[in-house]
Each structure stands twice: as C-alpha cells, then as structure tokens.
Chain A
Amino acid sequence: MADKRKVIMLGNEAIARGAYEAGVKVSAAYPGTPSTEISEYLVQYKDDLYCEWSPNEKVATEVAVGASLAGTRAMACMKHVGFNVAADPAYSVSYMGVNGGLVIVVADDPGLYSSQNEQDTRMVARAAQLPVLEPSDSAEAKEYMKLAFELSEQYDRPFVYRTTTRLAHSQGLVELADRRDIPDKEYEKNIRKNVMMPVNAKARHVEIEKRNLELAEAANTLSINTVEMKDPKIGVITSGIPYQYVKEALPDASVLKLGMVNPLPRKLIQDFAAKVDTLYIVEELDPVIEEQVKSWGVKAVGKEIFTVQGEYSANMLREKILKEEVGAAKAEEVPGRPPILCPGCPHRSVYYVLNKLKLHAAGDIGCYTLGAVPPLSVVDTTMCMGSSISTLHGMEKAKGREYVKNWVAVIGDSTFLHTGVNSLMNMVYNNASGTVMILDNSTTGMTGHQDHAATGKTLQGDPAYAIDISALCRALGIQNVREVNAFDIRTLEQAVKEETAKNEVSVIIAKSPCVLLTKGKKPMYRAHADKCKKCGMCMKPGCPAMTRNEDGTIRIDDTMCTGCGLCESLCKFDAIELVKEGDR
C-alpha cells in the first residue's frame, strides 16, 4: 500500500508522481527550465520505469513515440522552446495516434524567468491539433497526468500537458496513491496508421478531425471542466495558475474552470456565458480561449483589459475587474541584481580573453549567455539552442572569410550535443573558416547540472560511454581541434589568435568543470592592500567575490571566493596571494 498521508510537492515533482502512478514505463527529456525537475524526480522510481536524458527534445519525443507504439505508457518532457525542436515528430504523431498512452509535457514561462521568448504552447498544440490539459496546483498536477494517459488511450490521441513556471516551481499538498499496473499492449503492425506517407496521412487527417470532434463533445461533461456558480454578476472562464488568482481576488464570482484547454467545451461555455452578466476570460499569454469563444458570438472581456505579457496576479484582477485601487506601496529605486556568472565560473576567463582580443561572439543558450552584459560584454547574439555556429557561418557567407576573423561562436558542451553538432557539420561541408569555441564544463549547467552524452553517466545513474567531443569534431573532418584549460588564459589567448587567423574551420574546446560541481576543500585567495596598486586589472573579469575598499584597494570576499585563481593570474604586483591550499 502506498503512503496515504498528504505530502508537499513541487508541481514538477507531482507531475513525476502522477506519471509513476499512471503506470508510465518510458520517459525521455532534455533539461529546460521550468521542466527539468520532472525527470529528476521521476528517476527515484527507476525500479518501475525507464527514464533518460536525450540529446534534444525531438529525440526525446521520438523515443516516447516508439515506446507508445510498442504498447506502453510513455512521455516526453520539455520547456516551451523545446517543443519547437520537437515539433516535427509532434505534428505527425498527431496523425498517427497512440498504442500505449502518450503525453508530451511542455512547460511555458510567462514572465521569462529563464527563457528567450514567451511563446504559448497552447497555440502550437492547436496548430498540431493536439488536445491539451492544464492543471492549476500540485494536487491537480498529479491527477491530470493520470487522466491524460487514460484519455490518450481512450481517444487514440497523443496529449499535450501544459504547465507554467509558477505551477512547475510552486509546492502544494498532494495525496499519494499506488502505482497502477498497466499491462503492456500488443504491438500490431499497421502501416495505414503508422507510416505517414501521403496516402495514409490523408486518411489519418480525416480520422483525427473526427476524434477531436468527439473529444470536444466529451469536453462538455469532462470531470475537470467544472462550473462553480455563485454570484452571476461576474463570470470568469479560466484555467491553470490564473484560476488561483481568480479564487483569491474574486471569491464570490462564478467560475468556469477548464482543465482541458484544447479542444474547448462549446456548449458548456455557451451555457455558462448565458447565466452571467459580464463574462471575463482570464488566461496568461495569448488569447487562445478568448478568440475561440468570441468567434462563436459569445460576448466576453479579455485582452482588451488584460495583458499578453508576463504573469498575472490577484492584485491585477482586483484592479482590472473590480476597479479597486490596490494602493500597495511602491518599490524603492534600488540597483538591480541581474543573474551573473558564479565566482569561479570557467566561462569568465574565456570571456576575459575574448573581451581583451575585442572579438565578437555569436552566442548560444546556457549560463554563458550571461557574458553578454558588462563588464565582459562579449556575446553579440543569443537566439536558440545550437544557433551560435550556424549564425557565425551565415556571417561568413555574407561578409567573407576576413570578416569572421573578428568573430567566434561560443557554445556549451550540452548545447553542442543538442543541436550544435549539425551546424558544425554544415560549416565543414560548405567550406567555412570560422572558429567555434566549445565551453566544456562537463555538465548541463544552467538548468542545475544534468548529465548528457559526454559526461559518462545516464539520468538513472548508470555508467555510459562518454562521447569524446574533440574526437567527434575530428571525425567531422575538422583538422584544427584544440583542447585548452579554461583558466589558462595565456594559452587560451594564443589559441584564439592562431585559430581565428586560419582559413579553415577550427574548434577550441575550453575545458574546466562547472565550479558548482567541484567538491572538496577549495583554495582561497586574499588581496594585500599594501601591495595593491589599484590598477583594476583583477576587476576586469567582473568576479562577484571582488570589491574595492574605500581607498580603492581590492578586497576578496572569503565567503564567495572559490579559489579559481583568475584574479591572481591577472595581478602584476603579487598583491593577490593564495592563503589556503585546496583541491583545485
């Protein structure tokens, strides 16, 4: 028997628990805030299911599709932009349907806490004609997972399960249940359903339209689409986390809460609309529900008064709907505190060198994006995973070889294996000459240290062959591949100068593990005020452990210093001294 007591769970933990209880056999994912922890919590159930980090979301989704076809319940997890990478299989598996239940968990990021855009997954899912469930707290997060698998099998549709940062990273109470034992289904060869060549896909398109209509009809009585009739003066249609803001701000309003946000329950919505005086549609990001409801001729208030940007709140609803002066005190004007590279981060010394050489850098997605801001100010572009290398290539084809000698591409090890490697293949094939720097910190850093294909360990903790990145680059045909210790700034500077001057593709792998991964006693440095000439050389890399005293001399905060030694290697006056030996 499972432990029936209530426990507190992060939304992502509850999603993992729901998958476990639903009898999921296979899960594949690529880390991406705010979805990462789903897999990290799922791995605790590895005796009952298989879960993996795949190199990217397209691969992860295809792995899940394979497991579903084989006849088991399967899922893939990703952030919203990862769903773009997975779009190719997602749009076509929509036509194929499922054998074992198939759920694609996609986490949106209203407010852009850790993302490059604010896209709305419901739009993508609608375009792919995929049904979507959306929970509003941890308890629902768990239950909706189970329902998603049941509906997926009942209607032969892959389901999208949408969350947002606020749900994924909020904790709430959850009641545990046992894992359901779902027997594997038989695999049946069925090329009309599973081979998407035109003649079959044409027929499947008709079939899935029919299934979606059935699902839309069933949505009118689905247990997770609920009406709470109270005062009819104000009626609200909402879903997900915004439902909680509605309950907080408008406890007396009538509410239609949608647990399934695609397809919509037309009759339920029209009946609800007829019973209330003013109908509001409260949804973060795009007017997905609103535009459909209005297209049916239903009068409603939506994005005329609500924003399509960022997160909502109860106070916002009090202001917009109740016209209340919330009158909260205003924030003090204080210096901002943007995220920064950690003290001891190996990217800092790489960027110090690139800054010194006045090079431009086509950047990528990861902690090293933080090198765009002062004082390092190196990164020129950041767009999407793997884009640095192809962006550099496009620059060269536009302006020529000499022009890109002032440029490099910078990309992390995990991002390189995600989609960067394709772009590097393209450079080789199309006779490029640019220099690609792989900042190899032996982990997927920004999302909180996940293993990948070059770390030698799987999500389940099993040893694995660690792909040799420099051998991979050589195998692509690149003659100039160099590995340099990221903290050896002199060798690094030399390597960058030499490689950018060449008329061939070069790869420089700047290696040093993420400082947050290194365990053991760390060395520590101290600055001597009597030797310090206040030249500021050591401050150039922008290490947060270093500040100036009132007289202009340097002070190193011993609670923050991790002993990387970059400041010492920059000081010409021996004013920075190692005071404690360590393992580094």
Chain B
Amino acid sequence: MAAKNIMIVGVGGQGTLLTSRILGGLAILGGYDVKLSEVHGMAQRGGSVVTFVRYGGKVAEPIVEEGQADVIIAFERLEALRYAHFLKKDGALIVNDWRIDPMPVVIGAASYPEGIIESLQKEHKVYTVNATEESKKLGNPRVFNLIVLGVAAQHMDFTKEQWYEVIEHTVPPKTIDINKQAFDVGYHL
C-alpha cells in the first residue's frame, strides 16, 4: 500500500512525542513498515513543533512534505493554520480548538489571527474539539492529546481495540485508565 502520511503539530511541551509513539506502535501492530521524525532539543522549548509519521508497504523518507498529509493532528489553532498547506486535497485536519499565544503576540509585535477554524473550513475537512476543556472535566488537563487522538482515530484505519492495546503499552502504567477514558471522549464525539 502507498504510505499513509500523518502529521502531529503543536507547541513544544504539549506531548507530541507521546502521540507519535502511539501512532508508531499502531503502525507496527498493523504489520506496516513505518518511519517517524521528531523534534528534540531547543525547538521543544515552547516553539512550534511538528512530528511526521509515515507507514505503509515500504517507507523511504521519514518526513511528510507539502500537499502530502492524509491527516494532520493539531494541538493548537495557530499551528493548524501554519501547517494546513501540508494537507492533501481530501485530507482531514483535526484541531484542538485552543489558543496559546506565541511570544510575538504576547509582546504585541503580532496579533493572533481571528477566525482560524472558519477560514480553514473553506478549504479543508476540519474536525474540531476543545480537548483542553474536555480533559479538565476528566480531572487531568494533561490527557488532552488523547482526546484529540480519539477524534483522529475516526479518520484512520485502526480498530478501537488496536488503539487500546497500543495506549496500554505506551503511556505510564498508572495513567492507562485515564488515557483510555480520554481517548473514548474523542472517539465518540
């Protein structure tokens, strides 16, 4: 099969590395060849971060290029806008409807774009969730990324059981239940 191209974009510190580990685990479980590319180091400190996941029959390059992503999972609105041009024509854009001001906005050198979701919807298939608020309802705001993954799972080819299995093997043992609960919230939205 031709490689499936997934991107996870967000702000350094939002847990993109955990999410990519889960997607990598799923690809292996599905028996695919898989490559992932991540960002470590300086850029992780609150900067814009992007992780690429590619799986299929045989994968060569570990990155996804402009116009090639089947699914983009965005943990923040502005980051969704920044990387939306990586989507294929009919690709799915999953957006955590949450705002984190970058430093140029904090200090007043730039303004945070208004109406991001509406403008993205004009060109792309956009699925939004306010996972940050939803995760606070679960009592743990750190599991918001599993809620976003739950939404993304609706647009990918793995069964719920496969997701569960990988989540159980990837997250810290004490947090398996809360992470599965969070995944369910997104999966059933």
B36 at the interface (CB under 8 A from A): yes
A341 at the interface (CB under 8 A from B): yes
Contact pattern, B 90-112, Cβ under 8 Å of A = 1, otherwise 0: 00000000001111111101111
B66–A329 touching, CB < 8 Å: yes
Across the interface, A542 reaches (CB within 8 A) one of B13, B38, B106, B132, namely: B106
B85–A332 touching, CB < 8 Å: yes
In the complex, A339→B42 CA distance in Å?
A: 7
B57 at the interface (CB under 8 A from A): no
Known: A33-B42, A338-B102. A170 touches B37 (CB 8 A): yes
Q: Please name 30 pairs of A and B residues whose Cβ atoms are closer than 8 Å in the assembled complex, sorted by A.
A: A113-B39, A114-B41, A114-B42, A137-B62, A170-B36, A171-B24, A241-B62, A244-B62, A313-B65, A315-B66, A326-B66, A330-B85, A331-B83, A331-B85, A332-B82, A334-B78, A335-B110, A336-B102, A337-B11, A337-B79, A338-B103, A339-B47, A341-B45, A341-B46, A448-B40, A448-B44, A539-B106, A542-B103, A542-B107, A559-B141
B45–A370 touching, CB < 8 Å: yes
One of B27-35, B153-161, B181-189 contacting the partner: B27-35
Q: How large is the interface on B (under 10, 10 to 19, 20 to 34, 35 or more residues)?
A: 35 or more
- CB-CB under 8 A from A170, the residues of chain B are 35-38, 62
- CB-CB under 8 A from B66, the residues of chain A are 315, 326, 328-329
Contact pattern, A 155-179, Cβ under 8 Å of B = 1, otherwise 0: 0000000000010011111000000
Kindly name the residue among A33, A334, A448 whose own CB sees the greatest number of chain B CB atoms within 10 A.
A334
A580 at the interface (CB under 8 A from B): no
Q: How large is the interface on A (under 10, 10 to 19, 20 to 34, 35 or more residues)?
A: 35 or more
Known: A8-B24, A248-B60. A172 touches B34 (CB 8 A): yes
Q: What's the nearest-Cβ distance from chain A to residue B174, in Å?
A: 14
Kindly name the residue among B34, B65, B105, B141 whose own CB sees the greatest number of chain A CB atoms within 10 A.
B65
Q: What's the nearest-Cβ distance from chain B to residue A558, in Å?
A: 8
B43–A114 touching, CB < 8 Å: yes
Q: What's the nearest-Cβ distance from chain A to residue B76, in Å?
A: 9
B150 at the interface (CB under 8 A from A): no
Instruction: Give the total number of A-B pairs whose CB atoms are below 8 A apart.
Output: 168
B44–A339 touching, CB < 8 Å: yes
A101 at the interface (CB under 8 A from B): no
B176 at the interface (CB under 8 A from A): no
A244–B61 touching, CB < 8 Å: yes
- CB-CB under 8 A from B62, the residues of chain A are 137, 166, 170-172, 241, 244
B63 at the interface (CB under 8 A from A): yes
- CB-CB under 8 A from A166, the residues of chain B are 37, 62-63
- CB-CB under 8 A from A331, the residues of chain B are 82-83, 85
Known: A8-B28, A374-B107, A544-B101. A169 touches B61 (CB 8 A): no
Across the interface, B106 reaches (CB within 8 A) one of A244, A328, A332, A547, namely: A547
Known: A166-B37, A169-B39, A375-B107. A6 touches B47 (CB 8 A): no
Contact pattern, B 49-87, Cβ under 8 Å of A = 1, otherwise 0: 000000000011111011100000000001101111100
B128 at the interface (CB under 8 A from A): no
Across the interface, B45 reaches (CB within 8 A) one of A34, A326, A339, A373, namely: A339
- CB-CB under 8 A from A334, the residues of chain B are 78, 81-82, 113
In the complex, A6→B27 CA distance in Å?
A: 12
Can you name the residue of chain B whose Cβ is closest to the Cβ of A366?
Answer: B42
Q: What's the nearest-Cβ distance from chain A to residue B85, in Å?
A: 4
A342 at the interface (CB under 8 A from B): yes
Across the interface, B38 reaches (CB within 8 A) one of A171, A332, A336, namely: A171
- CB-CB under 8 A from A169, the residues of chain B are 37-40
Known: A166-B37, A374-B107, A559-B132. A245 touches B61 (CB 8 A): yes
Question: Secondary structure at chain A's binding surface: helix, strand, loop or mixed?
Answer: loop
List A residues 505-531 near B (Cβ within 8 Å): none
A336–B35 touching, CB < 8 Å: no
Contact pattern, A 171-194, Cβ under 8 Å of B = 1, otherwise 0: 111000000000000000000000
- CB-CB under 8 A from B85, the residues of chain A are 328-332
- CB-CB under 8 A from A560, the residues of chain B are 100
In the complex, A314→B66 CA distance in Å?
A: 11
Contacts A248-B60, A332-B85, A335-B102 aside, 14 further interface pairs with beta carbons under 8 A come to: A8-B28, A137-B62, A171-B62, A244-B62, A248-B61, A328-B65, A338-B102, A339-B12, A339-B42, A342-B45, A373-B103, A446-B45, A539-B106, A559-B132
Can you name the residue of chain A whose Cβ is closest to the Cβ of B33?
Answer: A173
In the complex, A340→B11 CA distance in Å?
A: 11
B48 at the interface (CB under 8 A from A): yes
A546 at the interface (CB under 8 A from B): yes
A447 at the interface (CB under 8 A from B): yes
B35–A34 touching, CB < 8 Å: no
Across the interface, A338 reaches (CB within 8 A) one of B13, B47, B78, namely: B47
In the complex, A339→B41 CA distance in Å?
A: 10
A247 at the interface (CB under 8 A from B): yes
- CB-CB under 8 A from A33, the residues of chain B are 40-42
- CB-CB under 8 A from A367, the residues of chain B are 42, 45
B24–A546 touching, CB < 8 Å: no
Can you name the residue of chain B whose Cβ is closest to the Cβ of A547?
Answer: B101
- CB-CB under 8 A from B79, the residues of chain A are 337
A52 at the interface (CB under 8 A from B): no
A364 at the interface (CB under 8 A from B): no
Can you name the residue of chain B whose Cβ is closest to the Cβ of A10?
Answer: B38
- CB-CB under 8 A from B44, the residues of chain A are 339, 448
Closest 8 A/B residue pairs (Cβ): A33-B41, A328-B66, A114-B41, A339-B47, A337-B102, A335-B110, A170-B62, A329-B85
A339–B65 touching, CB < 8 Å: no
Known: A335-B78, A546-B106. A446 touches B41 (CB 8 A): yes
Kindly name the residue among A8, A172, A334, A337 whose own CB sees the greatest number of chain B CB atoms within 10 A.
A337
Can you name the residue of chain A whose Cβ is closest to the Cβ of B104?
Answer: A335
Q: What's the nearest-Cβ distance from chain B to residue A215, in Å?
A: 29
Can you name the residue of chain A whose Cβ is closest to the Cβ of B103?
Answer: A340
B46–A113 touching, CB < 8 Å: no
A544–B39 touching, CB < 8 Å: no
A37 at the interface (CB under 8 A from B): yes
B48–A337 touching, CB < 8 Å: yes
Across the interface, B34 reaches (CB within 8 A) one of A8, A332, A339, A542, namely: A8
Known: A169-B40, A447-B41, A559-B132. A374 touches B34 (CB 8 A): no
- CB-CB under 8 A from A559, the residues of chain B are 132, 141
